[in-house]
Structure 1
Amino acid sequence: MNREHLEAELRAALVEHGLKFAPSGLSQGTSGNLSVRWHDGEAEGMLITPSGVDYTRLRPQDLCFLRLDDASGTQWRGPLKPSSEWRFHRDIYCARPDVGAVLHAHPTHATALAVQRRPMPAFHYMVAVAGGRDIRCAPYATYGTEELSRNALEALAGRRACLLANHGMITVAADLSAAFALGVEVEELARQYLLALATGTPVVLPDDEMDRVLEAFKSYGANAQKKAAADGGAD
């Protein structure tokens, strides 16, 4: 597949997943943003959703390309300016070579925890889906700032998801589908945790049990990975 075809597919996928924001409950209207890592043939960068555009009106050509070596975020390419949260997308890609896609959203239950600045402990073994024994909540900072980006990177250290205090959530993954699926999973965990808090005191699993779960998760989804590889090879 040539570079032009691959870029067109990635742009279409970003639009497709943006349209899923509202039905999935992850975000409404123009809130939330998505990006994928992309090399334009000259430099490593990212394709990212633009600022303030309703996802029902978003077109593939509306997406922005921003080089990762552009620390100012001023050299973007596209008809519309990139999301106001471009900075932590860029900084995550620079710090995490394992990450191929970033999702940021404001889902109801995860945000309800975030406004209490409450991390999500191991009340359920599936918390390990985010890569660790808990899901951290990054300290508050104004949106779009370097401080917010630093806080998010710290909360994501060794993790694939975090909450942002008084703000929302971030999930990262190797590809866009995985980042989106993780966002849905984190929001469902947040809903369950809030219900547990409302009806009693959740029992938190011990560290050694979570370590066993994390080890088991290393091979979890192997069938899905094989299927994806097989499907890709069939093209």
Structure 2
Amino acid sequence: MVEAETALRREVIETALEMERLGINQGTSGNISARWRDGLLITPSGVPYADLQAQDIVWLPLDVSDDADVFQQSRPSTEWRFHRDILYSRPEINAVVHTHSNAATAMAIHNRDIPPHHYMVAVAGGNSIRCAPYATFGSQALSAHAITALKDRSACLLAHHGVIALGHDLARALWLANEVEVLAQQYLLACQLGTPPLLSDEAINEVIEKFKGYGLRRKSEPDAG
């Protein structure tokens, strides 16, 4: 069990470093969590990813409160509330990736959803990637807005803030976070040619059906489509 926890802590760090390599995060602005036993492992606050060691990743129980003793010994990401609340309310989700990627954040600054300009929008579970209303970073209000925007979705934008992407594991959550950024870039480029035409709900629903089991998978997993 100790070896498995250490391996997951290292995977959290590698995922954080990969966010920077992909260019979807800068410095210490994003954060990552992964479900572990009856709690979660989350990146600490204010530590550059390149400096992280396995022991720096913070464990929090899923029922952690603001005055818990754990905060006397460690400093989890300031966004621990939405990580906790997402993993608590979404048992099918095991990983949460939060980025400040440029194009998606630009849309979030305008409080705009990513509409169905491309069929890959459906990979987040619906006919848009919603933008949650603004609330101060790290607040319970922000977490509540995120939970609402993520209803029946695996990704959302946060107004004037960034992106949340969910997955059954860290690799899937990171893949989706990058896909959200690509979709935002495509939409902003398409807007330079005029208002982009959008796919119908019927078309998106057809794609969602085809997407069941689609996406990033391990080599050992069967091809779902």
How many residues are matched? Answer: 222
RMSD: 1.6
Asked if the contact 1:35/1:48 (under 8 Å) is kept, the reply is yes
TM normalised by structure 1 equals 0.90
Amino acid at match of 2:131: C
What are the equivalent positions in structure 2 for 1:1-235 lying under 5 Å apart?
A: 3-39=1-37, 44-72=38-66, 74-76=68-70, 80-221=74-215, 224=217, 227-229=219-221
TM-superposed deviation, 1:131: 1.0
Whole-angstrom distance in 2 between the partners of 1:199 and 1:76: 52
2:2 match: secondary structure = helix
Report the TM-score, using the length of structure 2 for normalisation.
0.94
Query: Could you tell me how far apart the structure 2 residues matched to 1:167 and 1:51 are?
Result: 17
Please give the alpha-carbon distance, in whole angstroms, between the structure 1 residues aligned to 2:113 and 2:149: 10
Question: Secondary structure at 1:172's aligned position in 2?
Answer: strand
SS of residue in 1 equivalent to 2:13: helix
User: 1:207 and 1:12, CA in 2 relative to 1: closer, same or farther beyond 3 A?
Assistant: same
Shift of 1:78: 9.3
Query: Aligned in 2, Cα 1:13/1:77: closer, same or farther, shift over 3 Å?
Result: farther
Q: Secondary structure at the match of 1:212?
A: helix
Deviations 1:60-97 (A, max 9, x none): 11010000111326333796410000000000011100
- Equivalent position SS for 1:104: strand
Does the CA-based 8 Å contact 1:67-1:76 persist in structure 2?
Answer: no
Unpaired stretches in structure 2, ≥5 consecutive residues: none
Displacement after TM superposition at 1:221 (Å): 4.2
1:7-40 per-position Cα deviation (integer Å, ceiling 9, x unaligned): 011011011111112221111111100000001x
Distance verdict in 2 for CA 1:157–1:73, change over 3 Å:
farther
Find runs of 4+ consecutive structure 1 residues off by over 3 angstroms.
77-80
Cα distance in 2 for residues equivalent to 1:117 and 1:73: 33
Task: Decide whether aligned partners of structure 1 residues 106 and 73 sit closer, same or farther in structure 2, where only a CA change above 3 A counts.
Answer: farther
**Residue identity in the other structure for 2:126:** G
Residue type matched to 1:36 in 2?
A: A
Amino acid in structure 2 at the alignment position of 1:92: I
8 Å CA contact 1:29–1:54 kept in 2: the answer is: yes
Sequence identity, in percent? 50
Bigger shift: 115-124 or 79-88? 79-88
